[in-house]
Chains A and B, each alone.
Chain A
């Protein structure tokens, strides 16, 4: 086809076409008929022994989605450097569309002569590089992944992947994992701690400082007469048999919390799960069970996805797909009860799926709470982070410690200290310290003494005179904090016990400098009413989050200059400092936070009635805060 924008690139002599994520045997691009035939490889099949050894004038990478491109990083290390590279994503999502392409700033990459990005149909995105010096294909791929990985992936242990399909066991960028070197090239210091391999490991490093972990190629055996045989599940409850979910691309980003009407079914057919939509459309998930960001984007309008377990013969790939969909916050429900072969999925994930029917999720808040809970379970058990933890254990490394979080609680009202401290103590994040800033209160006041004594967490008390402005008081607290992250609690609001751990998790998968949530739920005491606002605007990058929810790295907080010395709007100023310095703000789900609007005695003098504006839902006679702080929002609906 002459209109193919890639024809000129592919017509060159000696081009290598590498694809990933496409169905085997299906070529992602039209190859010009009159040109020389390029060499094809599937990056999922590549290993040290099968990688093409000679040099190519150009490399074209056809990845189906960004999720697939992330998986291509390791295998791309087996390819020779090239001067020209074309990277095509045939199914690009809105949430992961790059806003930057960033090569490493070495002199070789500074030979960049041409960089062209185009979006030539609603979903096909491509980027063409031409350099004066040959660069490693990994550099080109990472350049495209740069904007979806603002925060680094865990670097320990350093993983090498070997054998066909091993990429599924370590999707990663920017620096981890890698392809192992051939045994004869083993350097004095190995580049990696562990080789995760699907094929025999003889071909690679024989260094005894390196551990070897054997895994299965998650793609079904293609040689069977009856088509792919699937990878039958053994009687195990071990989550480790499921290849990890790439939570950096498959996550809740883009979740829409407005009530939805239509459901779809997840049914087995043609050797894999298929989504059957009500309008007759179908979407086939990859046979390996790797759910992609694009799959997820197609499911955002669903009220629920009904998993028809009984249609599935039972395979690891089948479980992996369900774990991936759960991680992305797709509201899954079981048709009937989940089967025994699903036992290696997180237990609470299964019991939640079995608990609800599609009809139950007509309530938008319940649907969201369910989706968030599924996603939490899957992140905890099935993410690359969980997989890295399992690998550490397998090779004898100590477990990775969770980041430390300092919770700033600044108050001038002794009546609220007790309940605020109790809510901080109830947080399920493992490493929290409290910085209690007493704004004009005496540390010897009985309410303060009691609350500090009752708190099982380390508490640092900071006294600030009452006539100092609020922003200044907060800065004093931040100076006394020692955590990796700082987050702020307001003394009279309600927080779910998972609030801090959710913030830390979303900081990780979003890569944002500052995360928080909007005050989507507000309890108006005068009206005895909880209102819900801002439908459809959470789980995305945003300019605004509520002041009582923001979480930021302590180092970033210091570089941003902390809070400005203002009487009001100190939160807004901090947010604009983030935006003005080029950082991203991420707004996570708002079901774990309820803003209080008390009948009187509030420092913020806006009439409560204005909170009724733009309310999407009103819960009469219910203080949702009480339910949220018990992590039981669904009981109120």
Chain B
């Protein structure tokens, strides 16, 4: 959905630090936006009835609330029963594809609201749940809001929909679970631990889940929506892409909801993890541990390298691309930007071809799946978290990419510019963080410099690149760390060392505490001993002592 008039100036949230947003108190504001609640469902009519009953008792205005239940080919077909919100409709999945991600995607297509609230079909929401979600989306259109879910060990037959509706409407939903064990979700524990996600920078998307998350229609479209091929873990993968599209993750502790029964994550945890891993490894490059020590080519690269090959010699392009492909970070993708459409198969004099170098470049990388030939680079990578732009003819040390990403993370930057001697451009190499770039593109007004906006939303850092980049490769003999294999080993050792240091510090600190406590005990014992000795001293001896010391003082005076 795009409007023709320029949108009003958007709030510029730095990193994931949403502290500048000041949402209104619940119950004290007037909503304007239509919220579409999308519920993918497969079977369990009774739980769906509970979910809809709770939604029928929301404080959010009924005329601004629509509910879309997506029936993922249940047998028997799901139906709507009262109580449920006025504008509730059911959409049935008809194609060959199936699964919750696919169902959500179909539901979003059928929705007409600016705000999408995605709920599971076994969720009982509190009466201000929708309102709590929606208040944030009235402030800003690149947020993903996470509700606060808890797991209740209860079955739907103990929750008659009419009772649910009235309890929720009175704001007493918690009374429905009296006497039951309630377990908070791990996502919410993470929220508490990291200062409401404000300090998680580029990792806040980890808390994304399907049980209760809302986002703007715009953010959904910008990141490409749910990926129907993800049968499990689709919500996490979607969260990851929403972050790359510039999304900010905001937890709202007042958007309370209960999950009916323990989650599958809980009951078959290990199997679920095993299933998800290869899917995540392919699609979520920031889960670095899944790609450890393997040269497997994965679907989404960690870094997209952009090399402009216009007017560059074949040798320069080949050398640059080759150094990037042999670095310590193996999951990169290279985009060679050039006028590829001009290469035709027409008869030509092979050695006098005006596009001779271009043709040789194309042939060299034709079969490497990591290299793509493109006419123009996109505004931002689709899913890779970083983009590195460098000129043809520049060589990189094997550790260059890893080091540069290290700088970006240490400095918490959205972009790192490298000055490299021997290259004309001041920023000869730039590393951009996709999430920062996408947000900057979105909030930028037409006359603003993109880099200034990146600086505002995430920070731009300058670095001297002469140690990692140049016109010649650093001598491998001279610098062992320039060998990719050595480099990886050294990095591993460094990490291990840091861990050991931390442990040692912990022990030191705790040992110190023990020692201090022991010292305190010793002192107390000593004092008690002294007091005991004093107490056992006969009165006359104490008196004599006092007189003696007074006499002494008088003599001195």
A interface residue numbers (CB < 8 A to B): 1, 37, 39, 52, 54, 526-527, 529, 531, 607-613, 615, 618, 620-621
Contact = CB atoms under 8 A, between A and B. Distances in A.
10 interchain residue pairs of minimum CB distance: A609-B419, A609-B464, A612-B464, A613-B464, A612-B462, A620-B455, A612-B463, A610-B464, A607-B421, A527-B462
A39 B463 contact: no
Contacts of B461: 618
B550 to A, nearest CB: 13
B464 A39 contact: no
B556 to A, nearest CB: 7
19 contacts: A1-B526, A37-B549, A39-B556, A527-B426, A527-B462, A531-B462, A607-B419, A607-B421, A608-B419, A609-B419, A609-B420, A610-B464, A610-B466, A612-B419, A615-B462, A618-B462, A620-B455, A620-B460, A621-B452
Given A609-B466, A610-B464, A612-B463, A526 B455 contact: no
A611 B464 CA distance: 8
Given A618-B461, A618-B462, A620-B460, A609 B556 contact: no
B462 A529 contact: yes
B99 interface: no
Interface in B472-499: none
Contacts of B466: 607, 609-610
Contact of B556 (A1, A52, A529, A618): A52
A615 B419 CA distance: 14
Contacts of B455: 620
Contacts of A527: 419, 426, 462
B497 to A, nearest CB: 21
A609 B460 contact: no
Interface string B408-446: 000000000001110000100000000000000000000
B224 to A, nearest CB: 32
A39 B426 CA distance: 75
Interface in B175-223: none
A626 B526 CA distance: 64
Contacts of B463: 612
Contact of B421 (A52, A54, A609): A609
A615 B556 CA distance: 67
B85 interface: no
A526 B426 contact: yes
B228 interface: no
Contacts of B556: 39, 52, 54
Contacts of A39: 556
A7 to B, nearest CB: 15
Given A39-B556, A527-B426, A615-B462, 7 more contacts: A607-B421, A607-B466, A609-B421, A609-B464, A611-B464, A612-B419, A620-B455
Interface string B448-468: 000010010000111111100
Interface string B514-548: 00000000000010000000000000000000000
Nearest to A39: B556
A635 to B, nearest CB: 19
Contacts of B452: 621
Nearest to A527: B462
A143 B466 CA distance: 53
A382 B149 CA distance: 59
Nearest to A30: B526
Contacts of A613: 464
Nearest to A620: B455
Nearest to A616: B411
Contacts of B419: 527, 607-609, 612
B464 to A, nearest CB: 4
A527 B426 CA distance: 8
B426 to A, nearest CB: 6
A466 to B, nearest CB: 30
Contacts of B421: 607, 609
Contacts of A526: 426
Nearest to B553: A39
Contacts of A52: 556
A1 B460 CA distance: 61
A357 B426 CA distance: 39
A398 to B, nearest CB: 45
B25 to A, nearest CB: 23
Interface in B280-318: none
Contacts of A620: 455, 460
Contacts of A529: 462
B518 to A, nearest CB: 15
Nearest to B421: A607
Nearest to A612: B464
Contacts of B465: 609
Nearest to A53: B556
A244 B556 CA distance: 35
B522 to A, nearest CB: 10
A444 B420 CA distance: 43
Contacts of A607: 419, 421, 466
A1 B519 CA distance: 14
| Most chain A CB within a 10 A radius of its CB, from B461, B464, B466 | B464
B55 to A, nearest CB: 41
A385 B421 CA distance: 52
Interface string B253-295: 0000000000000000000000000000000000000000000
Contacts of A1: 526
A609 B427 CA distance: 10
Interface in B140-180: none
A607 B462 CA distance: 14
A600 to B, nearest CB: 13
Contacts of A612: 419, 462-464
A151 B460 CA distance: 46
Nearest to B465: A609
Nearest to B463: A612
Nearest to B466: A609
Contacts of B426: 526-527
A509 to B, nearest CB: 34
Contacts of B464: 609-613
A529 B556 CA distance: 73
Nearest to B419: A609
A611 B455 CA distance: 20
Nearest to B420: A609
B410 to A, nearest CB: 11
A513 to B, nearest CB: 34
B473 to A, nearest CB: 19
Nearest to A37: B549
Contacts of A609: 419-421, 464-466
Nearest to B428: A609
Contacts of B526: 1
A283 B138 CA distance: 49
A399 to B, nearest CB: 45
A59 to B, nearest CB: 16
B308 to A, nearest CB: 22
Contacts of A615: 462
B523 to A, nearest CB: 10
A636 to B, nearest CB: 15
